[in-house]
Structure 1
Amino acid sequence: MPLPRPLRRSDGLPAAPVPWVSTVLYAAVAVAGAYAGARGLGDTDAVPFAAGLAALAALDRFERRRWPAGSPALPGTLLLAVRLGLVLVVAAADGSGLSRVLLLLLPFGAYFVLGPVASVAIGALCLGGIVIAFQAADPGWHGRTEAVADVLMFAIGLVLAVAMASAAVEEQRQRARVESSHARLRAYADQVADLSAAAERGRLARDIHDGLGHHLTAISVLLEKAEAYRDRDGAVADAAVADARHSAQRALEEVRASVRTLRADAEPFRLTAALDELALRSGRVPAVVVEAGGDERRFTRDALVALFRAAQEGVTNARRHSGAERVEIRLRLGEDRARLVVADDGRGFAAGTEGSGLTGMRERLELVGGSLAVESAPGAGTRLTAVVPSAAAA
């Protein structure tokens, strides 16, 4: 299994070492040196011993303040060399012999600066240095249990130091990944919010076009009718004005319904009743006939509203553009889908000349998993077929 690479941030700096490790070792060496000096267990030179430990602590503090996220390779290597010199000074002044444990800080720190290979190599050099020092001080050291135990414990300490550095690097790497994931999630959440806002704006635009547009068209046609019959047939003109007033009231009700929807306070929607109301309020020209059957409960409210808007758009187009005299609305609510057909006997239109109303209708149906088919030709009327899936099939 390959050794992990040292953790790098986006700016190229390595991972930061764990600060408490060196602090614990400095404290342990200071206590052991003081105890040995007080008990006369070794020849401890207090001044260089204390000064060396203080310099090591100050060096660590400087490094953490200068490079909080970890030292770059070149200055980190120079600091390792300075740290080695200070450790040798402390070891030479320490009569207890415990200060050799400070050598463990070299491979530990090297792991964060230079990576695992350099850390293992420096650890091996430190172990070799300990063996050479033992050999120089006592050629027969390998025959003494205490000396061999000291070397073995140092070797175990090296393994633990490298393992701890590896674990610290991996922990920082995982933390960086989590932070990066959180940043991406925040970005995704912002995108979702933007998309939701755009979708809501689109829905409101379609509601305004399909709802208010339908009623305003009816009002315009009825008022034109009233103006045309004002001098010829007052009763017809009055009836047209009354129908226009009713259409205005319906437009106001739809605005209020849209507001209730935005406040999550929408009432249950009944498609068949809405189609009957559409036919009743559409007037005599064109005459609107509705034929419906099936169970609405299989379908979501959004799907039913989408079908109603399709019917509404079909009637509006027939009144506004086609000159139709009759519009038929046929609705079949099946188990897996609902099919709505709006057919008129108007003048029709050529392919490729669809307006924004049909485009908005198609978008609304696609949002609920449905589709729209348009069949028309000049002089042949228009037939709209809207299909949406049931809640179970969606």
Structure 2
Amino acid sequence: MSLFGRIFLLNALVLVVAAALLVFGPATVSTPALLGEVLVLAAGLVVMLIANAVLIRVGLAPLGRLTRAMTTIDLLRPGPRLTARGHGEIAELITTFNSMIDRLEAERGYSAARALSAQEAERRRVAQELHDEVGQSLTAVLLGLKRVADQSPDPVREELLQVQETTRSTLDEIRRIARRLRPGVLEELGLVSALKALIAEISEPAGLTVRRSFDKNLPALDAETELVVYRVAQEGLTNTVRHAGAGEIELTVRGRQSSVELRIRDNGRGIGSSAEGAGIRGMRERALLVGAELTVGAAPGGGTEVRLVVEARG
């Protein structure tokens, strides 16, 4: 039965009952109406309106659930679909809504995959150019400065050595940037070695104490999943350094039969009720690409905890 038919039937039922009471009931109305008759009619009208409201509310209850789902759904946090309860057009509407969400999530995943793939390709290109072009140019500058410094008088040599040291520091920074853009250790030595190198690179300049723990014989992960785990760890550690004000970080990687769990905890100020930034949303998009489960929230005892669980697909 259509939604129109259900509402019409409910109203018709109430009106038929009211008419039957007037026809077959003992109540009569005088002209002019007496006070008692007016009170009886008013009470009957109230009862009829309440019954009508209750019946319509019950009939339209599934639409209320659908409205709440529409206002709270987040494509970055897929959850269970609505149960297609109700009759006729209402059940069909809920089913259509669920199908629309499925299509939107699939399209978002496809678009995010293309965007992140293009982003990784651009990172590799920039890292390669920094390493090959800028790095080699600065290395040539260092050699030239050394050659000139060796042939210069002492006052000039001191200044050239200072310039040489500044250039060497710049070259080291460029190499660090290139490693962040393109984690060569991940491709060559695997996930655990890449995470160890990442911890050392991020924590040492910031003066953080990092306690790390890695299970042996982790389930094998494919290259795309390993990159997701690495990028989530990189973003989590970077956020801790920039925003958490933490002094200690705990990073663990555990094997769970056919899955791998990454957990990052800090003792900083926590995220509180602040809105998620681009970094956390980027982590969620990466997690969705490989069907991983990502949670970001308060850690036991204070601070922030990032937890990522990925299925082994290697």
Normalised-by-shorter TM-score class: 0.3 to 0.5
TM-score normalized with structure 1 length = 0.36
TM-score normalized with structure 2 length = 0.44
The answer to which structure, 1 or 2, has the higher relative contact order (CA under 8 A, 6+ apart) is: 2
- Tell which structure's C-alpha radius of gyration is larger: 1
